[in-house]
Structures are given as structure tokens and as C-alpha cells.
């Protein structure tokens, strides 16, 4: 199901797994516009996904996988994927 909110300038897509992707148009005081994108995993995604936003397996120690396959901290993750 898709939902558009013109007042908040946002669009949300809901997937069959329960996952949601929400896109919001942000308009700060300047004339620049940018997008905020939020992703929410659904219950059907548990233990079935992997990637830059984590594995969704309930184990925070493997959420920051580096390019070489090892696990790191936030700083190492950011530097490793530059």
C-alpha cells in the first residue's frame, strides 16, 4: 500500500513483508531541498536480509560488516565503505 501526505511532503511505501520505506522532502530555511529516506524492516524480513542497514537478526555485533567481511565498529565501517 502506498500513502502520500501532501501536508508533510512525504510518501510511504509498505511492502508485503511489513517493511516500509518513507521518503520525506525537507525544506530548511534556505532554498535547498533534500530528501530524508527512512527504511523500516518488517517481521517477515527477520533473518532474511543483510546489507548496509544491518542484518536484522537481533545481533548488533554483526551490523557493521566491513568490505573484507570482518566486523567493525561505526568508525571503521564509515571509513571502510568510503
Cell of 30: 534556505
Q: What is the mean pLDDT of residues 45-59?
A: 80
79: confidence class by pLDDT, cuts 50, 70, 90: very high
53 contacts 39 by C-beta, under 8 angstroms: yes
Mean pLDDT score of the chain: 82
Residues 6+ apart with CB under 8 A from 43: 17, 18
Q: What is the mean pLDDT of residues 63-81?
A: 89
Q: Which residue has the higher pLDDT, 40 or 34?
A: 40
pLDDT at 21 over 90: yes
Apex 56 CA angle, 63 and 70, nearest 5: 25
Confidence of residue 75 (pLDDT cuts 50, 70, 90): very high
Amino acid at each position: 500500500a502506498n500513502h502520500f501526505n501532501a501536508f508533510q511532503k512525504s510518501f510511504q511505501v509498505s511492502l508485503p513483508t511489513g517493511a516500509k520505506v518513507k521518503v520525506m522532502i525537507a525544506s530548511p530555511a534556505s532554498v535547498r531541498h533534500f530528501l530524508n529516506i527512512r527504511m523500516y524492516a518488517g517481521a517477515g524480513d527477520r533473518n532474511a536480509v543483510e546489507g548496509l542497514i544491518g542484518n536484522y537478526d537481533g545481533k548488533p555485533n554483526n551490523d557493521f560488516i566491513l568490505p573484507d567481511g570482518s566486523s567493525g565498529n561505526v568508525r571503521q565501517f564509515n571509513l571502510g565503505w568510503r
